Amino acid sequence: MSLFDKCEAFTLARDFRAKGIYPYFHYLESRQDTEVIMEGKRRIMLGSNNYLGLTVHPEVQEAAVGAAKEYGTGCSGSRFLNGTLKMHLELEEALAKYIGKEACMTFSTGFQSNLGIISAITGRNDYILCDRENHASIYDACRLSFATLVRYKHNDMEDLEKHLKEIPEGAGKLIVTDGVFSMSGEICNLPEIVRLAKKYDAATMVDDAHGFGVLGRGGRGTADHFGLTDEVDVIMGTFSKSLASLGGYMVASEKIIDFTRHNSRPFIFSASIPPAQCAAAAAALSVIEREPERVERLRDLGAYMREGLKKRGIKIKEAETPIVPIYTYEMEDTLIINKMLYEKGVFVNPVLPPATPPGECLLRTSLMATHTEALLDEAMDIIKEVMDSYAR
C-alpha cells in the first residue's frame, strides 16, 4: 500500500463539494465583527469566538500597530533565548493577577498551550482523566505526554469516580476538563471534579479557552464562576477568543510554572508571541478590567438568543453561555441548512461527528457582546425561515 493511498481514498470533502454543501474555508473580506463581508456579500456573523467584540476595539488595534512599529513584526527566537520582551513578562504578570494565581506563562497558540502544559507535567507513570468531549488539543497533548489516558463520560461524575478508584494508589493523576465545552456551550461540573480530586489525591486542570471573558466576575473564567480558583491547580486559556489576539497562557503556582518553563518542549522550541499579538492581548485585558459590563452584556445576549429561538420554535441545546447550538441531527441535513443560511446572509458553524455523536449534529451559533438585539432578531428570523422551509 502506497503512503498516499489514503489521500486518494478520502472522498468525503469532494463528495460534499460535488453536492454544493461543502461548508469550510469561506473567506472574509472585512474585519472580524458582528457583520462581515464574506465572499462578496454581507453576512451576520454568528460563528466567531470574538466573544467580547474586542478585535475591532480602537485601543486594541492601536496597541497592536504601535508594538509592531516599535519592536518589529516578530521576535525571531524562543522565549528561552532571544525571544522574551518586557511586554511578555508584563502580560504574564497582569493575567496571573487578574485570574488570581501566583504566576503565568504564555505560549504561541492555544493549541500549543495544551500540548506544552500537559506533556510537561505528566509522564509515563502518570494517568490523565479526560472528559470525552474535551478539545482535540488536550487529546493530542495526552499522546505527547506518554501518560496513560483514561476517558470518562461527558460531565459524568460517577464515571469519573469509577475510573479514579481503578488507578493504582500513589500514581500521579491529572483530571483535565474544558471549562466551557466549545461545541455545546455546556459548563463542566467543576465543584464535583474538585471534590473528587481531593478525595483521590489528583491534580486538576481547566481548559478555559471558552470560559475566560464569558464566566466569572468580570470574565475571570470557570473557576471564578464557581469560587474555586484557589482549588484548581492549572488553568489554561487562549488569546484568540475574548482577548482578541493569538496565543495562549497557563496560570498556576510559581513552582508549577517554573517547572513547565524548563520542561515544556513546545514552549522551549517555539518562537515567542510576536509583539503585535502580545500588545493586543494586553490591551484587550485592560479593556476587560475597565469594562466588566461587556461580560454582563454578553450573558444577557445569550439569554436573549436562547429565548428568541425557542419562541420561534427552534430546538436548541440548553446552556448558560454565549454558545447557542441548534439541533439539526443528520449530517447532510445540517450541511444543507447551513448552506441555506449562508446564502441568506447568516454565518454559523456546522458541528458534525466526531465533534457530536452520530444523529446529533448541530449548528453552533456564538455571540459577541457587540451584537444588538435588532441584529439577532434579523438572524433568528432568517434561521426560522430556513428551518421551516427545509422542514417542508
Break the chain into its structural domains and give their ranges.
Answer: 25-51+292-391, 58-290
Helix H or strand E encompassing 100: none
Q: Taking the chain, what is the end-to-end CA distance rounded to the nearest angstrom? A: 47
Mean pLDDT by 10 residues, the chain (392 residues): 93 94 97 97 98 98 98 95 97 98 98 98 97 96 96 98 96 98 96 98 98 98 98 98 98 98 97 98 98 98 98 95 96 97 98 91 98 98 96 68
Q: Which residues are known catalytic residues?
A: 182, 210, 241
Distance CA 36, CA 42 (A): 6
CA distance readout (Å), 185 to 89, 150, 210, 261: 32, 23, 8, 31
Instruction: Enumerate residues 6+ apart whose C-beta is below 8 A from 149.
Output: 128, 130, 139, 142, 143
d(CA 225, CA 301): 18
Give CA–CA dist 156/166, Å, rounded. 16
* Domain at 25-51+292-391, CATH from 3.40.190.10, 3.40.630.30, 3.40.720.10, 3.90.1150.10: 3.90.1150.10
User: For the structural domain made of 58-290, what CATH number should be given?
Assistant: 3.40.640.10
pTM over 0.85: yes
The grid cell for 293 is 459590563
Determine the Cα–Cα distance for residues 212 and 216; give it in Å rounded to an integer. 8
DSSP codes joined into one string, 287-319? HHHH-THHHHHHHHHHHHHHHHHHHTT--B---
Please, what is the Cα angle at 118 between 116 and 121, to 5 degrees? 100
What are the residues facing 329 on neighbouring strands? 361
Integer Cα distance of 228 and 76 in angstroms: 38
Question: Could you tell me if 48 and 368 are in contact, meaning their C-beta atoms sit under 8 angstroms apart?
Answer: yes
The reported pLDDT for the residue numbered 392 is 59
